[in-house]
Amino acid sequence: MTGLTAAEPAATGREPRHDQRRVLAVLTTTQVLGGIGVGTGIAVSSMIAASLSGSDAIGGVSQTSAVIGAALLALPAARLAARRGRRPALAFAYGVGALGGLIAALGTGVKAWPLLLAGLLLFGGATTAGLAARYAATDLSPPGRAGRDLSVVVWATTLGSVAGPNFGGPADRFGRWLGMPADTGPYLLAALSFALASLGVFAFLRPDPLHRADSPGTPRAPGSGVKAAWPVLRSAPMALTAVAAIVASHTTMVMLMSMTPVHLDHGHATITVVGMVISLHIAGMYALSPLVGWLSDRIGALPVLLAAMAQFLGAALLAGTASPRDVAQLTAGLILLGTGWSCGLVAGSALLTSSVPVEHRPSVQGLSDLLMNAGAAVGGIAAGGIVAAASYAALAAATMTVVLPMTLALLYRQWRRLPVA
């Protein structure tokens, strides 16, 4: 991990609280922009890909492409953060997402679904940036505040992500008014949002929180890749549990959410209805995150993670028993899926941060994001295949095979930590 750069020595003369407030302000602002782009693209991708290809399975792969892209970029972004700081790493990831948005628009415009999938692969860079930003929020957190600081940045995504899916229709109409091909407007809006987020981070995230946290007395980690991260996880059981819970939470959410627009489409839902359902799901993901962060700091991460698993089970039951025309029940299931994800991500990320020394955090956090997105990619591909071969109800049942083993593992960890009478 690098020390302070020549441009930042003056930052050490300020109170850490002042620097942390500035860091949180910049991260929350850029998260709104990133959330608009991700929310807009996610809401329409499966429907557009299914329409262009004539295959529901390809529709599921479209969102999986973005997840795979986020996984592939997680470690390069972590290495860049460890060597140069959070600022260039986040700016780079958002920039890759902007390029992906442009390529996705081109693929949609020429009706080439393979090019659309290639663009969505790079589109995942914005997801990488959004996930990494939550860890950047904890670099300067005082003891006992990591969950709350992290959750503030996660919550900021609410504004953009909830609005984003509803921008799909207006962006498409505006694009057509400008003479652009049908369905390209949402991706062009996403590209613009990501570009503004990249510029905002690069211009204003000063001092770099990772440089500021890296005091001269902090030991240097021997490396910043997977080889450096695995030994740290193996030697820290709670960190390993945190990563497993994050992976299970994200995989479950992506599996069920990715095929819900296709399920609704089978019931002839309009893009407006699909956007509303996804907006409420995303609201569940982010809106209550400050409460989740507070609970994680007050009662501990493990009880919050157990609550996440319970919500996932409830979501699978609600959504899995709903017909394509039962919008209300599907919406309720998707909201519960979102709140479960919030509990899993916020509590798991806070637990991981508190379980790993500062010099190892970028590499371990990068590995965590790689694994969570890789798991979600596998889950997303499986989701498309399950729905194509069986049904949406079968997909909901399949998510329980991810949730139940994680629930047992968390119960075991919680039991081991309970005081003996």
- Predicted TM-score (pTM) of this structure: 0.77
Nearest Cα to 376, choosing from 365, 368, 387?
368
- State the CB neighbour count (10 A cutoff) for residue 70: 32
| 57: CATH | 1.20.1250.20
The CA-based dihedral angle spanning residues 291, 296, 299, 304, taken in that order and rounded to the nearest 10 degrees: 90
CB–CB of 254/379 below 8 Å? Answer: yes
Within a domain: 2: no
* Structural domain contains residue 9: no
- Domain count along the chain: 1
In a domain, 6, yes or no: no
pLDDT in tens, 211-253: 776 655 454 455 555 667 888 888 888 999 999 999 999 999 9
Please indicate, yes or no, if residue 270 is contained in any of the structural domains.
yes
- Asked if the structure places residue 3 within a domain, the reply is no
Burial annotation 100-120 (CB, 10 A radius, 16+ → b, else e) = bbbbbbbbbbeeebebbbbbb
Report how far residue 172's alpha carbon sits from residue 155's, in angstroms, rounded to the nearest whole number: 27
- Nearest Cα neighbor of 307 from 414, 399, 397 is 414
Handedness of CA 179, 277, 403, 389 (dihedral sign): negative
| Residue 18: inside a domain | yes
Six token digits for residue 316:
């699978």
Burial tier of 84 (Cβ tally within 10 Å: 0-12, 13-18, 19+): middle
Q: Read off the pLDDT of residues 402-415 as tens digits, 9 standing for 90 and up.
A: 999 999 999 998 88
- Residue 112 counted as domain residue: yes
What pLDDT is stored for residue 215 in this prediction? Answer: 55
Q: How would residue 61 be classed by pLDDT, with cut points 50, 70 and 90?
A: confident
Domain that holds residue 348: 14-213+224-415
Query: Is 300 among the domain residues?
Result: yes
